[in-house]
Every structure is written in C-alpha cells, then in structure tokens.
Amino acid sequence: MWPEAIETALERYENRYGTLREAWKDAGYWPETTFPERAFETIAENPEKRVIGPRRTETFEDLGTGEIHVSGPNAMVGYLDGNHDDDAFDGTWFATGDIGRLDGDGYLTITGRKKDVIVRGGENIPVKEVEDVLYEHPSVDDIAIVAMPDEEMQEKGCAYVRVDNGRSFSFGEMINHLDEYEMAKQKYPERLEIVDEFPRTGSGKIQKAELRERIAETLGMKPVRR
C-alpha cells in the first residue's frame, strides 16, 4: 500500500515559490512539466513578475538577473509600520529580497537572497550557487557560507561545513571540488570551518548572523553586518 500511496502523492505534488506577504504562491511547476533544474514556470493567472537590477533602474521583462518584484491583487499593500515601505515597495511592486533570473520562456530561477552575498572587493557574490555545488560533495552533510571581514578585500567567504559521520573534508578537497565545476575563482570560499552542529532558528534555518559573529571573533575583527 505504501508504494502506491507515495506514487499517488508524488503525482499531485507541486513545487511552489512565493512569500508570506502574499495570499498565494506566485509560480510553480507540475510533475509532468519539463523544466530546468531549480526553475519555476511563471503561471499566467498569477501576479505579474519582474526581475530588476540592483539600482531599480532597469527592468528585464524577458531576460535578466536581479531582485524579484511581484505585484497583484494578492500582494500586501504595505506594512503596519509605514517606515518600512520605502525599502519594500517600488510603486505597487513589492521587493521580495530574493534574487532570480527570468528567461524568455517565462522560467524563473531562484538564485539566492539579496542579503546573502559576499561583498569581495566591491563585487557582490551570491553564496547559494557555491553552497549548492559544495553540497554535492559526498562528505558534506550541510553547509553555510558567510562573509568574514578582510582588511584588503572588505569581505571574503568562509564556508562552515558539517561532514557526514566517519568522513573528512579538507580545504584542498573543497577547492578541488569547485574546480571540477569550473566555477569563477572569486566565488571560492577562502576559509573552511568544520562544525558539529549549526545554530538554527525555531523554524530550522541556519543562523548565519551568529556564524558571522563567530568567524569575526576568531579573526579578532568586527563582524560583517547585514
């Protein structure tokens, strides 16, 4: 019975994207749909979407990478504390804080969070892509990359890794693994910290702010604030 029940559940499974500031989810795909990895098909009857550049001056209707904005009758109209509205809204468009890429076929790929970046020498480097690649290593059980302070580059990446039981993972192994994916060198973490457990919120999310505090204390410097 269980195999049949699981198969039935998977047939009805939908992977959705949205925010708590909206009454329903924005985009998703169905199991029978052909879709790129980690991509979501924009659903016509759901709210409009746009992906804009970091200065909010350029809108990519068909193709581009930037912060995801949503607008529609299901989206909230403002915060109870109106002081937050200037940063959260561009007219009727709500800034989700998520970074994504919208292609000409209407596929939206979520690539990370706006605040979850390493500002290395003035370049914003999203960490999700690197985390996803390192997560594929057989020794890595969980990972979080955070910004650590650096006098020369302003910030550099530090990878906190929890390894699978009985396995080991070295800095050299991390670099070799990233080399296999031909990732740009400036995206590489420049320090590795092995941990037994991660600090987490009540909902299970890794508390990256605490990890930034830890690495700054280890280096004897002020932590990077987000």
Give the tens place of pLDDT for each residue, 125-183: 889 989 999 999 999 999 999 999 999 999 999 999 999 988 999 999 999 999 999 88
- Same domain for 79 and 158: no
Q: Is residue 225 part of a domain?
A: no
> What's the N-to-C CA distance of the chain in angstroms?
49
What CATH number corresponds to the domain at position 210? Answer: 3.30.300.30
Asked if residue 224 belongs to a domain, the reply is no
**Residue for token digits 């037994």?**
196
What would you measure as the largest C-alpha separation in the chain, in angstroms?
61
| CA–CA distance, 143 with 14 (Å, rounded to integer) | 26
What is the C-alpha separation between 191 and 174, in angstroms, rounded?
A: 10
Range 200-221 average pLDDT: 95
Domains held by the chain: number: 2
Instruction: Please determine, for residue 186, whether its predicted confidence score (pLDDT) is greater than 80.
Output: yes
Q: Does residue 14 sit in helix, strand or coil?
A: coil
In a domain, 226, yes or no: no
For 184, the token pair is: 């740009």
Q: Which two tokens stand for residue 82?
A: 């109106």
Q: What pLDDT was estimated at residue 70?
A: 77
Distance of CA 78 to the CA centre of its chain: 24
Same domain, 14 and 96: yes
The per-residue pLDDT of the chain, averaged, comes to 79
The answer to whether 93 and 21 are in contact (CB under 8 A) is no
User: What pLDDT is stored for residue 214 in this prediction?
Assistant: 97
State pTM to two decimals. 0.68
Query: Two tokens at 188?
Result: 């590489």
Residues 6, 109, single domain; the answer is: yes
**Residues 59, 61: Cα–Cα separation, whole Å:** 6
The helix/strand/coil state of 214 is: helix
Mean pLDDT of the region 6-22: 63
Boundary of a domain, candidates 97, 113, 129 = 113
Binned at pLDDT 50, 70 and 90, residue 99 comes out as confident
pLDDT of residue 45: 39
Q: What is the CATH classification number for the domain harbouring 75?
A: 2.30.38.10
Q: Which domain holds residue 93?
A: 2-113
Q: Which of 15-24, 57-66, 92-101, 190-199 has the lowest mean pLDDT?
A: 57-66
The pLDDT, as a whole number, for residue 30 is 42
Q: Give the residue carrying structure tokens 């420049």.
A: 190
Closest CA to 191 of 208, 172, 209, 205: 172
User: Both 71 and 122 in a single domain?
Assistant: no
3-31: average pLDDT: 58
